[in-house]
A = this chain, B = another copy of it.
Amino acid sequence: MLNEDRLFPADQTTRAIARRLYDQIRDLPIVSPHGHTQAGWFTRNQPFPDPVKLFVQPDHYVFRMLYSQGIALEELEIGKETIQDPRKVWRTFASHYYLFRGTPTRLWLDYSFQTLFGLNERLSAANADHYYDVIAEKLATPELLPRALYERFNIEVLATTDSPLDSLADHQAIRSSEWQGRIVPTFRPDPVVDPQFPDFQDNVRALGALTGEDTFTWRGYLRALASRREYFKRLGATATDHGHPTALTEDLGDTSAATLFEQVIKGTAYQADLEIFRGQMLTEMARMSVEDGLVMQIHPGSVRNHNAQLFAKYGRDMGADIPAPTNYVEALRPLLSRFGNERNLTLILFTLDETTYSRELAPLAGHYPCLRLGPPWWFHDSPEGMRRFREMATETAGFYNTVGFNDDTRAFLSIPARHDVARRIDVAFLAELVADHRLEEDEAAEVAHELTVGLVRKAYRL
């Protein structure tokens, strides 16, 4: 199923350039600075469960498409702890595999099926059971245990994303084990800085308990955050991440910020002020980053849980998060006015609004020393999406204000597939620049190396 030239330009001369560039980077290690895998997998090193638990249930790319075509989530046993009839769910998935034509999910799955399970025939209703059996059988073998895969995938470092309230016990366990894999946490403070996060007050209380600070005062709250950042750093973290609804930042001044915090924590703040508080917290996080050197990532612009009925029944992360128009120019101004020229700050911006690539993000990143552009995110982490990113961002921001690839995945098995797609699209883009003489091939090879490992190591301080 996997052609050696997949995703390369059709023109033969250009394709040959892409091939040569790819050959120089295909075997480079995977640097994965942002994602949603679980440290516990590597602590326990147990076999991954059955095909459905692995490929269908946790992957909202997969079940959102099935759901959009009228397959009930019940039919897929989504949300169930134990799957009653995994083989039946697998058959449903297999017989609808054609729905993924033209999507990146298809590319990722085919890659995993073939490289990990030796399955070379396209998945369909006809071979569903065969697939199921082969996958189930191989998952139990030592070669497919988490640590073995980490090595087989040639991973250099793998970052998880964690709540400030997380004890990071699994990360500690890995560090004290003899296993040499590098799994690092990422500080994602949404549960304690977003007043609209479920159980916000309880979270802030728990943060106090963890740190011995009075987190119901502004000073104590900030100290507690700094203290957890420090704790994450000690366990290997090099970055923070922030998933706010918008990119709004604020710079209220300390007195106003303290007053606002008081209202927020008491639950007496106006609805509109909650967004201002989140904005203020981004600037506070930037201030702390200038001090402790943690790289900052902002992932704004997702309207979460758009499907009210589904949310009521199944809760978060049910494939119903929808992007919205996102502004950066005015939104980031307060933060950038304070810290935009700081040498010790790295602020990586992501977007779900592709119109901002050429209009806002590339011009901002092509100017402010602290800014870098994250790779195409979520729905845009796809061949066409990555191509649009390079076409729209490069001419103003260059390559060197970008930070390589993020796989950003919960699906550990898809990591090599995702990195491979990114590498192929990058060399395809570079090959086109070489073919029309915008770049010489030796330069393109250098850039390809940077896009694969150089820029990510540097930007994330790994």
> A324 is contacted by which of B2, B330, B385, B437 (Cβ under 8 Å)?
B330
Q: Knowing A101-B399, A102-B398, A367-B64, say if A303 contacts B329 (CB, 8 Å).
A: yes
User: B309 touching A340 by the CB < 8 A rule?
Assistant: yes
> A101 is contacted by which of B5, B11, B367, B443 (Cβ under 8 Å)?
B443
**Chain B min CB distance to A387 (Å):** 9
Decide yes or no whether A307 CB sits under 8 A from chain B: yes
Stretch at the interface among A37-45, A207-215, A351-359: A351-359
User: A368 touching B303 by the CB < 8 A rule?
Assistant: no
> A384 is contacted by which of B352, B385, B392 (Cβ under 8 Å)?
B392
Within 8 A of B (CB), among A216-269: none
A355: which B residues are within 8 A, CB to CB? 325, 353-355, 359
**Copy count, this protein chain:** 3
A352: which B residues are within 8 A, CB to CB? 359
Decide yes or no whether A323 CB sits under 8 A from chain B: yes
Whole-angstrom CA separation of A340 from B366 in the bound complex = 38
Whole-angstrom CA separation of A104 from B362 in the bound complex = 14
Decide yes or no whether A327 CB sits under 8 A from chain B: yes
User: A340 touching B385 by the CB < 8 A rule?
Assistant: no
Decide yes or no whether A348 CB sits under 8 A from chain B: no
Q: Knowing A7-B438, A437-B6, say if A69 contacts B395 (CB, 8 Å).
A: no
User: A363 touching B400 by the CB < 8 A rule?
Assistant: no
Decide yes or no whether A53 CB sits under 8 A from chain B: no
Count chain B CB atoms within 10 A of each CB in A103, A330, A333, A352 and give the residue with the most: A103
**Chain B min CB distance to A264 (Å):** 24
Within 8 A of B (CB), among A1-44: 2-3, 5-14
User: B437 touching A7 by the CB < 8 A rule?
Assistant: yes
Whole-angstrom CA separation of A357 from B37 in the bound complex = 30
Whole-angstrom CA separation of A325 from B358 in the bound complex = 11
User: A68 touching B330 by the CB < 8 A rule?
Assistant: no
Decide yes or no whether A286 CB sits under 8 A from chain B: no
A112: which B residues are within 8 A, CB to CB? none
Decide yes or no whether A310 CB sits under 8 A from chain B: yes
User: A14 touching B5 by the CB < 8 A rule?
Assistant: no
User: B395 touching A385 by the CB < 8 A rule?
Assistant: yes
Decide yes or no whether A364 CB sits under 8 A from chain B: yes
Q: Knowing A7-B436, A68-B366, A103-B396, say if A353 contacts B359 (CB, 8 Å).
A: yes
A343: which B residues are within 8 A, CB to CB? 70
User: A103 touching B398 by the CB < 8 A rule?
Assistant: yes
Stretch at the interface among A153-161, A375-383, A412-420: A375-383
Decide yes or no whether A137 CB sits under 8 A from chain B: no
Decide yes or no whether A394 CB sits under 8 A from chain B: yes
**Chain B min CB distance to A301 (Å):** 9
A319: which B residues are within 8 A, CB to CB? 367
Q: Knowing A13-B10, A309-B340, say if A354 contacts B365 (CB, 8 Å).
A: no
> A400 is contacted by which of B13, B69, B380 (Cβ under 8 Å)?
B69
Decide yes or no whether A320 CB sits under 8 A from chain B: yes
A400: which B residues are within 8 A, CB to CB? 69, 98-99
**Chain B min CB distance to A335 (Å):** 11
CB nearest to A7 among chain B residues? B436
Whole-angstrom CA separation of A244 from B354 in the bound complex = 25
> A385 is contacted by which of B306, B358, B401 (Cβ under 8 Å)?
B358
A308: which B residues are within 8 A, CB to CB? 337
Decide yes or no whether A116 CB sits under 8 A from chain B: no
> A395 is contacted by which of B70, B104, B398, B439 (Cβ under 8 Å)?
B104
Q: Can you report 12 residue pairs joining A to B where beta carbons are below 8 Å apart?
A: A6-B437, A10-B13, A67-B367, A68-B366, A98-B446, A102-B433, A102-B438, A102-B439, A306-B333, A323-B329, A323-B359, A354-B358
